[in-house]
Chains A and B, each alone.
Chain A
Amino acid sequence: MIELKEVSKKFGDTQAVNLVSFKVDEKETLVLLGTSGCGKTTTLKMINRLIEPDEGQILINGEAITNQDPDTLRTGVGYVMQNIGLFPHYTVAENIAVVPKLLKWDKEKIKTRTQELIKKLHLPENSLSMFPHELSGGQQQRVGLARALVADPAVLLMDEPFGALDNVTRTSIQKEFKGLEELKRKTIAMVTHDVQEAFELADRICLMDRGKIIQIGTPKELLYRPINDFARKFLAGQRLALEFKVVNLQDIWSYLPKGTLQDGKSLSDDLNIWDAMELLRSSDRSQLLVSGANNERKSVNFEQLTKGFNEFQNTQAHE
């Protein structure tokens, strides 16, 4: 758990972070979203004391971080950064082993853990003896993540973790990370300026502007109940795509026609509209079988899906 209490930071005359307070719950992913210069990265770096706040208090798992030695604190907090920041003079294995060595693990333990991680992160076995420059961008990012996860820290900080990747690689790695068991157990604070990415990965989003928090809430809340014009305009450009991501079959359940009883394997109703559409388009199926609450089953085709979604949208707009 991470908690910030009225934290402020000034650089010269610029108020980079202004009285920011939030809480990231256990196993929750909070995304700090905003344009460059909004203070999101500064906020993140204050959590592992790469930057010291001028005012306010930061607690990790209930303990003030100022009570801990910064180096010890950092070995216990995973950090994935913008430009990956791998050590070019270390092999992949040595890069992953940085924190365990600082924690004085024995060799065998480091080796086992490294093997385990590269399997989970789909890195080729022979990459361990390679240097970072010999890997692709996507692979480098996986190594960066492995390095942050290796000591299994409860808290993970991610600063634009996919910023250095091209769009195609980014989308696929985001998906993969989202499904990663190791990440689901962590309390994560992540910084991004990419709205899509925020909506893809966040449990809650903290929208920031000029050092201040504008709104904190679930993606759905941000989308359908923006607190002011800034929040509304911030998402306006990609609104439709975001809605497809945020709304799931459960939300539009009541707008879907009563299903004919069909046998076969059904999908969960927390599938979002975007993914449902993709399934319909990419597979040769013309219908999806979905099971909702009370074991009720419905089959949906593309037309029914868009119709249901439109009706849901209308009710949200008039609320």
Chain B
Amino acid sequence: MNEHQQTLWQFMFEQSDKLFTQTMQHVGLTFISLLFAIAIGLPLGILIARKRKLSGTVLGIAGVLQTIPSIALLGFMIPVLGIGAKPAIVALLIYALLPIIRNTYTGIIGIDQHVKEAARAMGMSKSQVLLKVELPLAMPIILAGIRTATVINVGVATLASFIAAGGLGEFIFGGISLNNTNMILAGAIPAALLAIILDALLSLVQKMDFKKLRKMLYILPFVIIILSGFYALPSAYGSTLTAGFTPEFMGRQDGDLGLKSTYGLKIHTIVISDAIMYKAAFSKELDVISGYSTDGRLKAFDLKILKDDKSIFPPYYAAPIVRNTALKQFPLLAETLNLLAGKITDSVMTDLNYRTDYLHQTPERVAKDFLISNGLYKAPNNGHKGMVRIGSKIFGEQYILAEMYSMLIKGNTDYEVSTKTGLGGTKICFDALMNDQIDFYPEYTGTGLLVLLQPDPKIAKEMAHDKDKTYDYVYTEFEKKFKIKWLKPIGFNNSYALMMRQKQSKDLNVNTITDLKNYLDKN
């Protein structure tokens, strides 16, 4: 398709520095949290084996913690522990806790009563019985628990990249956002290998006979501590300000790469999920973030957009993209969706986003209020002439748009609607569209150009700053390549933007990206 299509090996080779850093971070995260989980879980397991009455409560609590979805758990951690390593380690520790506590408990209570009695009858003190008899005999089962915990941790650690704790998740989620399969695999394959290798190694230890196991038990803690140290190893270069960029932004020409090549911006950067980036900027954990220009949190957290004075961020005008087959199947669809065309400006969209993100109104209510005030709302017809499937990516603005389209379709046609919101990043949404899982979703011209079409960089650069040229280009190319139609733009331009806190921007007198670069070079 184009000359910069790489093989996976080329990608991994090119990114070997990052890959190495991320793998080290991943191993480090896994083992630091494992270390803490053992330090907490082992004594707890011993305690509840002694005081059986406590076992139900302790195992129950650990079990409930285990069921909290990992993303949610990471989310809960942020208000308490901020972003970065701390909350990630705590979250991983919580997941690792249950198998360790449970297996320690099961291992100890499973020991032959007669052996315990013999130990006491020989004159061993309680602590000697524990150290010389109970723990060694329970060790194979305890090790099985540690093994389970390790494998769980390798998996969950991929999510650490959401809260700027690094790890192989940076590649995986960056790749999903960027529609870059190589990048996904460059993160996913090492993560999977890591899990398999660690599992195999620990199963070897677990199956050792008592003699070898005894030696191993002296070595194992050191191995875990050394592996934990991997996390501290790769330290980023320091700068006075810290930037938090999404995985997607990190890999884009119109993102971090452009900031480096066009502006020469050198800033200490951590990778973080979009969901918590704004809050982290507000709470002064981050100074510069890569936001979206219509994001409601811009208003909520009092952030300022830095002017893109060298124009590296192309326009991102939103418009629904629909499969041609769907347009044929639902003749009224295009007309209905176009009812929204040109109706929502940047400031209106920011306000709508503000209402969902900050005032916590439901997307449904915000959508309905908007349609009513613009005279577009009609009560649903409750027709049964086929099902239109709407998709949306996993952020607020897309939810609102999906709701609006849903209401418009129900009110103006006899079609039924099902919405599949929260389809992750661009790649997931677009694949769903291509594979006939959904009929349309709102997309942005810039994304269509740079992520989905990925034309020759020269062509891209040429038209990237002209909104009409971009629209025309994606319109024709999508029709040709994908048999997908771009309907009329909704009106607002949700482009990337660098943002700072208003106050900090004023204090440092930084208003443009060039100002930021100059400030960083001086300090």
* A and B are interacting partners: yes
Residue A102 contacts which of B112, B123, B209 (CB distance < 8 angstroms)?
B123
A window 77-110: CB within 8 A of B: 79, 81-90, 98-99, 102
Give the distance in Å from the alpha carbon of A48 to the alpha carbon of B118 in the complex: 12
| Residue in A81, A89, A131 whose Cβ sees the most chain B Cβ within 10 Å | A89
Known: A79-B118, A81-B117, A83-B114. A89 touches B210 (CB 8 A): yes
Residue of A nearest to B133 (CB): A87
Q: Is the CB of B117 within 8 A of A75?
A: no
Q: How far is the CB of B210 from chain A (nearest CB, A)?
A: 4
Give the distance in Å from the alpha carbon of A2 to the alpha carbon of B137 in the complex: 35
| Binary CB contact string for chain B from 99 to 122 against chain A (1 if under 8 A, 0 otherwise) | 000000000000010110111111
Is A170 close to B, CB under 8 A?
no
Known: A88-B137, A89-B210. A81 touches B118 (CB 8 A): yes
| Residue in B117, B120, B121 whose Cβ sees the most chain A Cβ within 10 Å | B121
Q: Is the CB of B115 within 8 A of A74?
A: no
Residue A74 contacts which of B112, B122, B136, B137 (CB distance < 8 angstroms)?
B122
Q: Is the CB of A74 within 8 A of B114?
A: no
Which of the four size classes fits the interface of chain A?
20 to 34
| Residue in B114, B122, B125 whose Cβ sees the most chain A Cβ within 10 Å | B122
Q: How far is the CB of A305 from chain B (nearest CB, A)?
A: 44
Residue of B nearest to A48 (CB): B121
Is A221 close to B, CB under 8 A?
no
| Binary CB contact string for chain B from 125 to 137 against chain A (1 if under 8 A, 0 otherwise) | 1001000010011
Which of the four size classes fits the interface of chain B?
10 to 19
The A interface, classified by DSSP as helix, strand, loop or mixed, is: loop
Is B423 close to A, CB under 8 A?
no
Chain B residues positioned under 8 Å from A172 (CB to CB): none
Q: Is the CB of A72 within 8 A of B118?
A: no
Chain B residues positioned under 8 Å from A50 (CB to CB): 117, 120-121
Is A71 close to B, CB under 8 A?
yes
Chain A residues positioned under 8 Å from B451 (CB to CB): none
Q: Is the CB of B121 within 8 A of A81?
A: yes
Residue of B nearest to A157 (CB): B121
Chain B residues positioned under 8 Å from A186 (CB to CB): none
Known: A85-B114, A87-B115, A87-B133. A147 touches B121 (CB 8 A): no
Q: Is the CB of A87 within 8 A of B121?
A: no
Q: How far is the CB of B39 from chain A (nearest CB, A)?
A: 24
Q: Is the CB of A82 within 8 A of B114?
A: yes
Is B124 close to A, CB under 8 A?
yes
Q: Is the CB of B123 within 8 A of A71?
A: yes
Give the distance in Å from the alpha carbon of A76 to the alpha carbon of B122 in the complex: 9
Q: Is the CB of A72 within 8 A of B123?
A: yes
Q: Is the CB of A85 within 8 A of B118?
A: yes
Give the distance in Å from the alpha carbon of A75 to the alpha carbon of B122 in the complex: 6
Give the distance in Å from the alpha carbon of A76 to the alpha carbon of B112 in the complex: 24
Q: Is the CB of B124 within 8 A of A102?
A: yes
A selection of 17 A-B contacts at a CB cut-off of 8 Å is A48-B121, A50-B120, A72-B123, A73-B123, A74-B121, A75-B123, A79-B118, A81-B114, A85-B112, A85-B114, A85-B115, A85-B121, A86-B115, A87-B133, A88-B112, A102-B122, A102-B124
Known: A79-B118, A102-B123. 17 other contacts (CB 8 A): A50-B120, A72-B123, A75-B122, A75-B123, A79-B122, A81-B121, A82-B114, A83-B112, A84-B114, A85-B112, A85-B117, A87-B119, A87-B137, A88-B137, A88-B210, A98-B124, A131-B209
B residues with a Cβ closer than 8 A to A are 112, 114-115, 117-125, 128, 133, 136-137, 209-210
A residues with a Cβ closer than 8 A to B are 48, 50, 71-76, 79, 81-90, 98-99, 102, 131, 147
Counting from the closest, the 9 A-B pairs by CB-CB distance are A85-B118, A75-B123, A74-B123, A79-B121, A89-B210, A85-B114, A83-B114, A89-B136, A71-B123
